């Protein structure tokens, strides 16, 4: 099963290696989709892994035991077609190209499985036609 984990950290555990734990303790190959560290040492990481559900839960439990705040992400882009102008502003800022305009109809489309919940599309939409269901 493919899963995305959201991992929050703070100055106390920012030096810990989430990737090392996932590789060495669970024999996983994590794909780091997003990593952001603030000046105070706090931050967020979004990691994609492919593992059975019970292994995913063990990973979450292990990371939480080390002081991280780990949880499974189930993010979906919600699109209000009534408000949307199909201007393409959201597509131009999406770092994963999750959002795109259909080449034939120029209508909004999204591959929700690649969304990393960065929020760039929300900020770019001039009519606020997008939201994230987290």
Regarding whether 68 and 88 lie in a shared domain, the answer is no
Cα angle, residue 6 at apex, residues 22 and 71 outer, rounded to 5°: 85
Q: What is the mean pLDDT of each run of 10 residues along the chain (134 residues)?
A: 87 81 93 85 88 95 94 85 91 90 87 82 94 77
| Per-residue model confidence (pLDDT) at position 57 | 96
| Per-residue model confidence (pLDDT) at position 110 | 85
For 120, the domain range is 76-133
Domain finish residue from 53, 73, 93 = 73
pTM for the predicted model, two decimal places:
0.72
Regarding whether 111 and 86 lie in a shared domain, the answer is yes
Estimate to the nearest angstrom the gap between the alpha carbon of 54 and the chain centroid.
21
Estimate to the nearest angstrom the gap between the alpha carbon of 5 and the chain centroid.
8
| CATH number (domain holding residue 42) | 3.30.70.260
What distance in Å separates the CA atoms of residue 50 and residue 29, rounded to the nearest whole number?
8
| CATH number (domain holding residue 115) | 3.30.70.20
């Amino acid at each position: 099963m493919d899963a995305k984990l959201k991992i929050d950290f703070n100055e106390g555990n920012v030096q810990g290696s989430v990737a090392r734990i996932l590789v060495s303790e669970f024999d996983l190959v994590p794909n780091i989709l997003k990593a952001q560290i603030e000046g105070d040492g706090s931050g967020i990481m979004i990691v994609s892994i492919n593992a059975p559900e019970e292994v995913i839960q063990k990973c979450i439990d292990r990371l939480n035991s080390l002081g991280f705040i780990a949880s499974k992400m189930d993010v979906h882009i919600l699109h209000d077609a009534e408000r949307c102008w199909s201007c393409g502003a959201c597509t131009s800022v999406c770092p994963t190209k999750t959002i795109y305009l259909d080449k034939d109809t120029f209508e909004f489309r999204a591959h929700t499985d690649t969304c990393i919940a960065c929020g760039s599309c929300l900020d770019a939409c001039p009519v606020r036609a997008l939201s994230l269901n987290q």
